[in-house]
């Protein structure tokens, strides 16, 4: 079942936590809500799940207007950060719990519990208590419990944040597999851009209660609509260079940048760390640190007190303290308006 939000406004007192959020989530897709702390991700999820009531705007599940309904009336599966399994119950009892509440026939419920336990690959652990499971296993039980009642919609709020890095990566792949296998429409909240990039069909990037961009992972990386999106997506963060320009040309050190918007006197140039190259003429920088990342080396460079990040091949050897002249690769930089910070063009 698809989800549609129309001009959703959520207020806490006078504070607008969501400011006219309009969003369409297609049936069977996994969409991530991504953004910094306080941007309104959880508020969006809680409002969709009926826990918060919107001040104005509409929520549709398919064609059904569900605005203002209570969580129990919505039949959605919810998974939260602290997986909140009942510690005194076994895994089996945890998964059966929502079905008992819904007064499922006992044999049917047992059958369903085993079915979802198999989907999340926890069927050999059914008689254990949560404390006897690893964090990743507990998380999968929480997902099984949410899936048990066959929801059309699964909402997950930072479900992996209690797990260590390796388990996070494994569990997010599991979530994606389960989501595809069951065909459930899923909204996945995270503040981790890499996590969002790796599992989503679409990413919804939020800031201050408003949507900045909705795009596929590759598109949001390649075509950010503004400086905020460009800086939030990608690691290391995009470099930004403030340029003064005249007639579409800007000169810093011996670097001449052309094809800038002719009607602007100031722009911001965004350059990803992989899009700088060593040059004869360019920005004169000093190498501050060299970090070995494995396949690549990450240089931190100082240019008149401003730090830039540059990724180079692992065979590129340079000492800290050395001088390095660099320039952005042609056609790879992003030009943003200095005032509105909106994307203008590439150059």
Ligand X SMILES: Nc1ncnc2c1ncn2[C@@H]1O[C@H](COP(=O)(O)OP(=O)(O)OP(=O)(O)O)[C@@H](O)[C@H]1O
Quick check: bond before 236 cis, omega within 30?
A: yes
Phi, psi of 176 (to 5 degrees): -65, -45
The region of 33-41, 160-168, 180-188, 253-261 touching ligand X under the rule CB under 6 A is 33-41
Dihedral angle computed from the Cα positions of residues 324, 328, 330 and 335, in that order, rounded to the nearest 10 degrees: -160
Q: How far is the CB of 136 from ligand X (least distance, A)?
A: 21
Which are the contacts of 249, defined by CB distance < 8 A and separation ≥ 6?
A: 256, 257, 258, 260
Is 43 among the residues that bind ligand X (CB under 6 A)?
yes
Tokens of 46: 């809680």
CB-wise, 42 or 137, nearer to Mg ion? 42
Which does residue 333 touch among ligand X, Mg ion, none (CB within 5 to 8 A, set by kind)? none
- Which of 140, 168, 172, 191 binds ligand X (CB under 6 A)? It is 191
Q: What is the DSSP string of 220-233?
A: HHH--SBHHHHHHS
The region of 35-43, 144-152, 173-181, 328-336 touching ligand X under the rule CB under 6 A is 35-43
Q: How far is the CB of 83 from ligand X (least distance, A)?
A: 16
Is 39 among the residues that bind Mg ion (CB under 5 A)?
no
Q: With contact defined as beta carbons under 8 Å apart, do 88 and 129 qualify? A: yes
Is 9 among the residues that bind ligand X (CB under 6 A)?
no
CB-wise, 232 or 343, nearer to ligand X? 232
Q: How far is the CB of 41 from Mg ion (least distance, A)?
A: 5
CB-wise, 40 or 159, nearer to ligand X? 40
Q: With contact defined as beta carbons under 8 Å apart, do 217 and 30 qualify? A: no
The region of 37-45, 63-71, 87-95, 285-293 touching ligand X under the rule CB under 6 A is 37-45
Is 12 among the residues that bind ligand X (CB under 6 A)?
yes
Name the β-bridge partners of 31: 187, 202
The region of 34-42, 127-135, 217-225, 316-324 touching ligand X under the rule CB under 6 A is 34-42
Tell me the three state secondary structure of residue 89. Answer: coil
- Tokens 């989501």 correspond to 179
Q: With contact defined as beta carbons under 8 Å apart, do 136 and 114 qualify? A: no
DSSP alpha helices (H): ranges in 57-207? 91-101, 106-119, 135-147, 165-182, 193-199
Is 37 among the residues that bind ligand X (CB under 6 A)?
yes
Is 159 among the residues that bind ligand X (CB under 6 A)?
no
Tell me the three state secondary structure of residue 41. Answer: helix
The region of 42-50, 140-148, 246-254, 267-275 touching Mg ion under the rule CB under 5 A is 42-50
Tell me the three state secondary structure of residue 46. Answer: helix
- Which of 32, 42, 182, 212 binds Mg ion (CB under 5 A)? It is 42
- Tokens 């076994």 correspond to 90
CB-wise, 42 or 49, nearer to Mg ion? 42
CB-wise, 41 or 92, nearer to Mg ion? 41
Q: With contact defined as beta carbons under 8 Å apart, do 136 and 164 qualify? A: no
Q: How far is the CB of 40 from Mg ion (least distance, A)?
A: 9
Contacts with ligand X, residue ranges (CB under 6 A)? 12, 17, 35, 37-43, 191
Which parts of this chain interact with Mg ion (CB under 5 A)? 42
């Amino acid at each position: 079942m698809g989800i549609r939000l129309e001009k959703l406004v959520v207020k806490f007192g006078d504070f607008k936590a969501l400011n006219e959020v309009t969003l369409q989530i297609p049936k069977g897709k996994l969409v991530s809500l991504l953004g910094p702390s306080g941007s309104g991700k959880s508020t969006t999820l809680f409002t969709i799940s009926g826990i918060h009531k919107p001040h104005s705007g509409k929520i549709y599940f398919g064609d059904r207007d569900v605005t203002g309904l209570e969580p129990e009336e919505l039949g959605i599966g919810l998974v939260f950060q602290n997986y909140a399994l009942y510690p005194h119950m076994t895994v089996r009892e945890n998964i059966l719990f929502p079905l008992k509440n819904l007064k499922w026939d006992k044999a049917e419920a047992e059958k369903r519990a085993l079915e979802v336990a198999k989907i999340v690959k926890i069927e050999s652990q059914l008689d254990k208590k949560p404390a006897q499971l690893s964090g990743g296993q507990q998380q999968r039980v929480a997902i099984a419990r949410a899936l048990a009642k066959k929801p059309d919609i699964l909402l997950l709020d930072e479900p992996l944040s209690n797990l260590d890095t390796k388990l996070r990566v494994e569990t997010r792949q599991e979530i994606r597999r389960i989501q595809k296998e069951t065909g459930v429409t899923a909204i996945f909240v995270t503040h981790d851009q890499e996590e969002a990039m790796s599992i989503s069909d679409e990413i919804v990037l939020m800031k201050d209660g408003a949507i900045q961009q909705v795009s596929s992972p590759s598109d949001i990386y390649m075509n950010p609509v503004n400086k905020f999106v460009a800086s939030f997506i990608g690691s290391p963060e995009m470099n930004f260079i403030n340029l003064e320009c005249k007639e579409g040309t800007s000169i810093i050190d011996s670097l001449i940048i052309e094809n800038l918007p002719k009607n602007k006197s100031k722009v911001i140039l965004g350059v990803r760390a992989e899009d700088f190259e060593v040059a004869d003429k360019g920005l004169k920088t000093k190498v501050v640190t060299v970090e070995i990342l494995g396949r690549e080396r990450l240089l931190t460079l100082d240019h008149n007190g401003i730090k830039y990040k540059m990724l180079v091949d692992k065979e590129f050897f340079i000492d800290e303290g050395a001088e390095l002249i660099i320039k952005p690769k042609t056609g790879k930089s992003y030009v943003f308006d200095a005032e509105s910070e909106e994307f203008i063009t590439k150059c």
